[in-house]
Amino acid sequence: MKIHKQITGLRTLLVVLVLAMLGGIALAAEQTAGQVDQSAQQNTSHQQSIEDWRARRHERLSKADGWLTLVGLEWLKDGENRIGSAEGNDIRLSKGPAYWGSVFLEGDTLRFENPANEAVMIDGEILTQAELTYDTKGSPTTLTSDTLSFYVIERGSYGLRIKDSQARALLNFKGVENYQADESWRINGRFIRAEENASIEIVNVLGQVSDSQVYGTFEFDRNGKTHSLIGLGSSSSEDLWFIFSDRTSGRETYGAGRFLYSDGMPENDQLVLDFNKAYNPPCAFNPYSTCPLPPQRNRMDLLVTAGEKDFHPDSS
């Protein structure tokens, strides 16, 4: 009788252990499935966020005053600059009246005059004269006639940035090719703050040099190597700006590098850069932009197969 009770107890214990083991397997399988589902959801969420970002980017490029509408850049001389579509003007435009008017450059002051003309709008109004604000001093004053417009930029000297809302590049634009979105290129890396008031010289495509404020250095590991990028910005910035090139530059991506903004500011010495949002500078879309070039420290020995590829207008 005693032996029978022991056997019965052992059978009961065995059943309990088997059930517990099966329950554990089921729980582990459920947890694994949950992890797979969560990973898939995260990947889908990231994919969607990149698609949304690219749609907004396409919308900006397709605007009637976007970079695809830039058709000219003319530098101003001191004194009077006669502007119009007729021969004999100092700056000849492709459209609009024979004589748009004159831009007078005196030191760092610019004004537009044409008392007799009503075909040119100044910031949407018919005015015979106006002081002109250039881009580095605020929202620039825009002069418009027909589909053409221009405003003054300052890049060491003063020039007219000329745009056409019916430019061929815009009318033929179908989009920019991108690498397939890849969440592994959304990198949470280390961030090292720069010293107060640190700056770096940035050269633009015209060969002009300007100082830009450095906020710090982003470091990350990829393919067994450590890479770093200098981030431009200040303590009042909402995100940091990176001008970089890599081993795809001049091959699959734009030769003069790409731009990228961080996802917010560093927290606890960490920063997120999503290279899927790397995009072409304006110079990739027209020959009249004055884009900055990547500093030497931002030229990476790495294939960044993420973000926008080079833009070819004839195939867009």
Using CB atoms within 10 A of its CB, is residue 18 exposed (0-12), middle (13-18) or buried (19+)?
A: exposed
Q: In this model, does residue 16 exceed pLDDT 70? A: no
Backbone angles phi, psi at 302, to 5 degrees: -160, 140
Q: Which pLDDT band holds residue 10 (cuts at 50, 70, 90)?
A: low
Q: Residue 107: helix, strand or coil by DSSP? A: coil
pLDDT in tens, 38-54: 555 667 899 999 999 99
Mean pLDDT of 20-42: 53
Question: For the residues of 124-183, what is the DSSP string, one character each?
Answer: TEE-SEEE---GGGSSPP-EEETTEEEEEEESSSEEEEEEETT-HHHHT-----BPPP-G
Q: Where are the domains of the chain?
A: 1-61, 67-171, 174-315
- pLDDT value of position 41: 64
**184 Cβ contact partners less than 8 Å away, ≥ 6 residues apart:** none
pLDDT of residue 6: 54
Q: Which residues contact 205 (CB under 8 A, 6 or more apart)?
A: 256, 283, 289, 290, 291, 293
State the chain's mean pLDDT as an integer: 90
Summarised one tens digit per residue, pLDDT across range 36-93 is: 455 556 678 999 999 999 999 999 999 999 999 999 999 999 999 999 999 999 999 9
Residue range 84-134, pLDDT digits in tens = 999 999 999 999 999 999 999 999 999 999 988 778 999 999 999 999 999
State the sign of the Cα–Cα–Cα–Cα dihedral 38, 39, 40, 42.
positive
Q: Are 161 and 290 in contact (CB under 8 A)?
A: no
Residue 15 reports pLDDT greater than 50: no
C-alpha closest to that of 50 among 137, 178, 194, 212: 178
Residue 152 CA to residue 160 CA, distance in Å, equals 5
Pick the CATH number of 67-171 from 2.30.40.10, 3.30.70.250, 3.30.565.60, 2.60.200.20: 2.60.200.20
Q: How many CB atoms lie within 10 A of CB 1?
A: 5
User: Whose structure tokens read 């990350």?
Assistant: 220
At residue 313, the pLDDT reads: 76
Confirm whether pTM is higher than 0.95. Answer: no
pLDDT tens, position by position, 238-249: 999 999 999 999
What pLDDT sits at residue 11?
60
Higher pLDDT, 7 or 116: 116
Polymer length of the chain: 316
Give the percent of the chain with pLDDT over 90: 82
